[in-house]
């Protein structure tokens, strides 16, 4: 990485159904993020945390669409609008945004900010599809709707805060799927999004899948956003996540994927975010420290 980075923390837990993920940015910073990146020679500037209302300050019914469910939607919109502005400012300053969550709903703001005035591809490492809409969600949790929101599906269509006009579904690739709701799965199959399940990973190997995902995202775009949900990893490696699913990537596979991201994208890496670290559920900050390691690999760290 030969470009400066600006870090943003978004202590957001409104999109999830388990509290604690709001402490994720602090845990990742405590895990040594700045020191790790600066040891690579990266100019790392910390932009601080965005203010996020707590669930006790917010009406969970506020902003729900009339024909669907989406908890804390109005507050999520407010946070994502502000995050998009901050991220766009970092891009204007020629810094690579590195956004720390918080739950995965923050990706709506990150992508919205990076995709302003550019065609953006997205590689989404996640155990879940995040392809529900307020009309199909079984839980009402917005962190399970992020990709759908970015692509303007369901009642997100035409939204000026969620739908990212610079993102085409043909340039979105999801890697690591192993827990998808029935309606969500049907919508993914019918969409132009490229989805790789862990079965694909088992059959082809994660390096091959990651390279193809990057190729999908980079095809005809001006840059690629990489979104890493820590539940992409197996819970034995990353226990501190709110929605763990067995059968995820190993420690070494996680590093390999991020090293390929760095090698294949280079200056085409537009932004990165790491989300869903929940210190309450973690074991001696293992998940946050792994998040730091993976961020470093994604930004250029090598064994040799």
Please give the annotated binding residues for Mn(2+), written as ranges.
104, 126, 128, 130, 229, 231
Instruction: Say which of 36, 104, 225, 234 is annotated catalytic.
Output: 104
Catalytic residue among 86, 130, 259, 293: 130
Annotation marks residue 103 as catalytic: no
Residue 284 among the catalytic residues: no
17 is catalytic: no
Catalytic residue among 13, 126, 163, 293: 126
Annotated binding-site members: 104, 126, 128, 130, 229, 231
Active-site annotation holder among 143, 253, 259, 293: 143
Residue 13 annotated as catalytic: no
Say whether 225 is catalytic. Answer: no
**Joined tokens for residue 257:** 């994927």
42: which residues sit within 8 A by CB, 6+ positions away? 1, 4, 5, 299, 300
Active-site annotation holder among 168, 229, 237, 273: 229
Q: Is 104 a catalytic residue?
A: yes
Of the candidates 259, 276, 282, 289, the residue annotated as catalytic is 276
| Active site (annotated) includes residue 126 | yes
Select which of 22, 103, 231, 289 is catalytic: 231
Active site residues: 104, 126, 128, 130, 143, 229, 231, 276
């Amino acid at each position: 990485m030969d470009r400066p980075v600006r870090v943003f923390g978004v202590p957001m837990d409104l999109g999830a159904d388990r509290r604690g993920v709001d402490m994720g940015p602090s845990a990742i910073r405590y895990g040594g993020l700045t020191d790790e990146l600066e040891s690579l020679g990266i100019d790392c500037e910390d932009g601080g945390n965005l203010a996020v209302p707590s669930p006790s300050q917010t009406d969970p019914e506020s902003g729900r669409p009339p024909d669907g469910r989406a908890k804390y939607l109005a507050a999520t919109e407010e946070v994502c609008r502000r995050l998009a502005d901050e991220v766009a400012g970092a891009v204007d300053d020629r810094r690579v945004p590195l956004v720390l969550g918080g739950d995965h709903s923050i990706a709506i703001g990150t992508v919205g900010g990076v995709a302003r005035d550019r065609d953006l591809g997205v590689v989404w490492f996640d155990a879940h599809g995040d392809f529900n809409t307020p009309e199909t969600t079984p839980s009402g949790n917005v962190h399970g709707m992020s990709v759908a929101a970015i692509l303007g599906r369901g009642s997100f269509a035409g939204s000026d805060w969620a739908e990212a006009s610079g993102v085409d579904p043909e340039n979105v690739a999801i890697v690591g799927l192993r827990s998808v709701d029935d309606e969500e799965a049907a919508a993914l199959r019918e969409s132009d999004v490229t989805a790789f399940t862990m079965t694909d990973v088992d059959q082809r190997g994660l390096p091959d899948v990651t390279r193809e995902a990057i190729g999908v995202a980079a095809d005809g775009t001006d840059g690629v956003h990489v979104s890493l949900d820590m539940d992409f990893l197996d819970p034995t490696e990353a226990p501190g996540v709110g929605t763990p699913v067995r059968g995820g990537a190993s420690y070494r596979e996680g590093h390999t994927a991020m090293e390929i991201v760095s090698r294949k994208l280079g200056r085409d890496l537009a932004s990165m975010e790491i989300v869903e670290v929940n210190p309450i559920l973690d074991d001696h900050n293992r998940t946050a420290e792994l998040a730091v390691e993976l961020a470093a690999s994604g930004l250029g760290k090598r064994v040799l």
